[in-house]
Amino acid sequence: MHNQNDRAEFNSLTGASVDSTGTQSKASSQQENNRRQFLQSALGVGFAAAALPVCAQTMLLTPATGLSEQRLQIDVDGQAVSVYSVRPEGKQSLPVILVVSEIFGVHEHIADVARRFAQLGYLALAPDLFVRQGDASKYASVAELIKEVIAKVPDAQVMRDLDAVLAWADKHGGDLKRVGITGFCWGGRITWMYAAHNPAIKAGVAWYGRLVGEANALTPLHPVDIAAALKVPVLGLYGAKDTGISLDSIVKMEAALAKGSSHSIFKVYEHSGHAFHADYRPSYVEADAKDGWKACVAWLKANGAG
């Protein structure tokens, strides 16, 4: 593995500690095939190779009824950045939600999460933040994906790209007075970092994003380093059984946050590990995922991002 940061990221993504109560009834092979074919064809998104095989029997499919979807390209310093955009059809002056992916990029699960927000009245935007380093969908293993793409992505690049996405939203029906950000795993860490970078954000929800790590040229700071100065309220949704994100790191983050005035808080799910919201993976814990989603939506609205 490339370095200690890469190992920590790898550990948090492998899903080694899966904890799920109860059993799911297994879908027939025909049902699974039909479902996968639908996912591949409906939006042309599909799943990243490193995320396969998917758990089709637990995946949620959010209808696009009443929504306007598009894949658009935003120019950022001469680089075309692809963004999955979805909103209520024909609506303007919408609250904006940035949806930041896991390491797998903007694949079908992230697109589905964006549609869930759009069904709630948001202009939801999910950008491909790895475009300069490679195509996250093509790597067959998590380890290879981290080494060849994720470990080469600088935070400064991500901040610029997200700034550009919001600038686009401002000119295309988004209300920048009501902006939120949410992200999962890699995107959970970015949620904390972008909330520090852009104090105009009204609220953030970070799902099991890494909080501590070694500083380097690409990631000079981590969430624990910016916590005391943070102004934006962020809700952290984490699993107590996450083998890649220790409870000790959450305690350290809470202590750092207590020195500031962002009023950020954590909700830690006792029976969940990493990626408990990822309904396409074995790590999915339905009860906690549903509770987390409810808490996410409520937090955004309560803090003016809805």
* Residues carrying an active site annotation: 185, 242, 274
What tokens were used for 65?
A: 């009824």
Do residues 138 and 105 touch, judged by C-beta distance below 8 A?
A: no
Give Cβ neighbours of residue 204 (< 8 Å, ≥ 6 apart).
Answer: 180, 181, 182, 191, 192, 194, 195, 232, 233, 234, 235
Do residues 1 and 91 touch, judged by C-beta distance below 8 A?
A: no
Residues forming a β-bridge with 234: 204
CA dist 278 → 56, 151, 170 (Å): 12, 22, 30
Please count the other Cβ atoms lying within 10 Å of the Cβ belonging to residue 171.
7
Q: 46 — alpha (psi -120 to 50), left (phi > 0) or beta?
A: left
- Return the amino acid letter for 67: L
What tokens were used for 100?
A: 């930041």
Do residues 189 and 206 touch, judged by C-beta distance below 8 A?
A: yes
